């Protein structure tokens, strides 16, 4: 294979070549040029400008900023790539097609490196070998009592096989390359996380810090502006995109959007019989608790902890995921250095690299420092238990579909109530009132109140 010719960046940008690509693009160009002007004018200035004007992240940001501000309809259709999609919706009439869809294969410096990460990373190589850090057990050979004693009471992650064999979602959604899934739900518009990419440095509608009640109200209003895509359009995006960090479907209203049909195609696994939120609260009282997650290869979730310190189970209907874990108080030194100054105890999401970049760069530095995380690979049909208070990161090795609810049981109850006490006192008092009829939970509540009493007296 002949070497890729390098673009003379200095010649193409002149004095501006002293600036990093992102500073030049987002600090110099975009404040003065709109998307249509970038598509029309930038491609003709120089080869270096052409490279910059073809960057997928640039067009994704331009499109989603404009969409979130103005919008055109409730969902949009992805057309081969982000630039084509932007041009189709916002400036097709203004531009000469001569420049719109020109492909330029020579990349230079930072932009080439990002492109190379997407094009040459063989995702299958990122499958983590089973080294026994996280157990794999057969659902047919374990009782609920054994599972509770071994994993739930000790709050240990575990992969469970043969737990989804009676699910329609597992047996039918993958048939004929997803034909049945499209027949049933192809025209349903699901919520994506696209709005979160508009300005990464600003709080997104999946807020970085633990929300206070007032912030929670703002959060609900922002959710109404979430970018939705019909399932058939999103699955086409999965095939066509070349994004380093693709968008993904993450919808907490998937049951409502499918009028309850999806709820009939899966069931809660036998190992998780208790959810105190479900037992004591109505649907309108409890926080969002179940999601359908449809993710492209290379997408995923950065380091985070589940909301309100709940536990979760993740059922993988399609594809392969790689997971890494750290217990709450055992983050490695490298991560602590990167988030220095952050109030980690009150964060759900750590402001670190996206999953693909983390697993291909930071991961190796952490391992060399002797602070390797717990890891596992989740394969199609696997059920993963994610206990309360564990930091975790997830990378989709292949295109994936999963269902994942969060829950509160008597074994994570204190963690959940402690979090609610700090973040949502009204919700805390509601749960406290409800659980007092359960003697075991009542005793836990009395213990918790005694432990926070000195704090209350001090604040008084």
pLDDT tens track for 369-406: 889 999 999 999 999 999 999 999 999 999 999 999 99
pLDDT value at position 9? 65
Question: Is it the case that residue 264 has pLDDT exceeding 70?
Answer: yes
Burial of residue 451 (CB within 10 Å: 0-12, 13-18, 19+) is: exposed
Residues 336-354, mean pLDDT to the nearest whole number: 79
Q: Which two tokens stand for residue 109?
A: 């410096």
Q: CA 202 → CA 196, 198, 225, 249, 349, distances in Å?
A: 9, 9, 16, 21, 13
Top-ranked range on mean pLDDT: pick from 23-37, 167-181, 262-276? 262-276
- The model's confidence at residue 342, banded by pLDDT at 50, 70 and 90, is confident
Domain ranges for the chain: 9-115, 124-207+224-407, 413-459
**Confidence at 116, pLDDT banded by 50, 70, 90:** very low
Residue 282 pLDDT greater than 70, yes or no: yes
- Residue predicted with more confidence, 154 or 38: 154
Contacts of 89 (CB under 8 A, 6+ apart): 63, 67, 72, 76
Nearest to 261 by CA among 382, 172, 165, 194: 172
Q: Quick check: pTM over 0.85?
A: no
Q: What is the dihedral of CA 64, 67, 73, 74, to 10 degrees?
A: 50
Least confidently predicted of 21-30, 243-252, 327-336, 351-360: 21-30
pLDDT > 80? residue 273? yes
At 63 the pLDDT is 80
Q: Give the pLDDT confidence score for residue 122 in this predicted structure.
A: 64
Query: pLDDT higher for 116 or 263?
Result: 263
What pLDDT band is residue 43 in, cutting at 50, 70 and 90? low
Out of 2.60.120.650, 3.60.21.10, 2.40.33.20, 3.30.1180.20, the CATH code matching 124-207+224-407 is 2.60.120.650
Report pLDDT digits (tens) over 308-317. 999 999 999 9
pLDDT at 339: 82
Task: Name the DSSP letter for residue 349.
Answer: B
């Amino acid at each position: 294979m002949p070497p890729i010719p390098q673009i003379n960046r200095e010649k193409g940008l002149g004095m501006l070549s002293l600036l990093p690509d992102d500073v030049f693009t987002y600090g110099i160009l975009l404040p003065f040029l709109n998307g249509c002007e970038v598509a029309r004018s930038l491609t003709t200035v120089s080869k270096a400008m052409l490279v910059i004007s073809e960057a997928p992240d640039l067009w994704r940001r331009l499109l989603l900023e404009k969409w979130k501000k103005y919008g055109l309809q409730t969902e949009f259709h992805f057309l081969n790539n982000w630039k084509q999609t932007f041009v189709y919706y916002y400036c097709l009439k203004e531009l000469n097609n001569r420049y719109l869809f020109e492909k330029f294969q020579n990349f230079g410096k930072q932009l080439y490196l990002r492109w190379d990460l997407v094009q040459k990373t063989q995702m299958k190589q990122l499958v983590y070998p089973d080294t026994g850090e996280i157990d794999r057990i057969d659902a047919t050979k374990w009782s609920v009592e054994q599972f509770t004693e071994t994993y739930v009471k000790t709050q240990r992650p575990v992969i469970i096989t043969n737990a989804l064999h009676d699910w329609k979602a597992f047996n039918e959604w993958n048939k004929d390359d997803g034909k049945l899934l499209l027949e049933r739900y192809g025209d349903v518009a699901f919520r994506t996380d696209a709005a979160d990419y508009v300005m990464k440095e600003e709080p997104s509608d999946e807020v970085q810090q633990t929300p206070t009640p007032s912030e929670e109200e703002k959060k609900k209003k922002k959710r109404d502006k979430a970018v939705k895509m019909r399932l058939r359009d999103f699955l086409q995006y999965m095939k066509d995109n070349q994004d380093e960090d693709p968008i993904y479907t993450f919808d907490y209203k998937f049951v409502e959007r499918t009028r309850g049909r999806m709820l009939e195609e899966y069931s809660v696994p036998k190992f998780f019989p208790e959810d105190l939120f479900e037992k004591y609260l109505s649907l309108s009282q409890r926080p969002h608790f179940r999601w359908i997650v449809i993710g492209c290869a290379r997408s995923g979730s950065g380091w985070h902890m589940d909301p309100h310190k709940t536990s979760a189970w993740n059922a993988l209907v399609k594809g392969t995921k790689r997971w890494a874990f750290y217990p709450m108080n055992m983050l490695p030194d490298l991560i602590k250095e990167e988030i220095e100054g952050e109030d980690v105890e009150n964060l759900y999401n750590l402001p670190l690299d996206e999953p693909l970049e983390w697993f291909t760069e930071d991961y190796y530095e952490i391992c060399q420092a002797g602070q390797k995380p717990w890891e596992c690979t989740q394969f199609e049909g696997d059920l993963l238990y994610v206990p309360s208070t564990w930091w975790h990161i997830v990378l989709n090795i292949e295109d994936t579909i999963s269902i994942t609810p969060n829950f509160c049981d008597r074994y994570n109850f204190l963690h959940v109530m402690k979090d609610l006490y700090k973040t949502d006192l009204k919700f805390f008092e509601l749960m406290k009132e409800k659980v007092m009829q359960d003697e075991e939970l009542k005793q836990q509540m009395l213990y918790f109140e005694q432990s926070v009493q000195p704090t209350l007296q001090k604040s008084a």
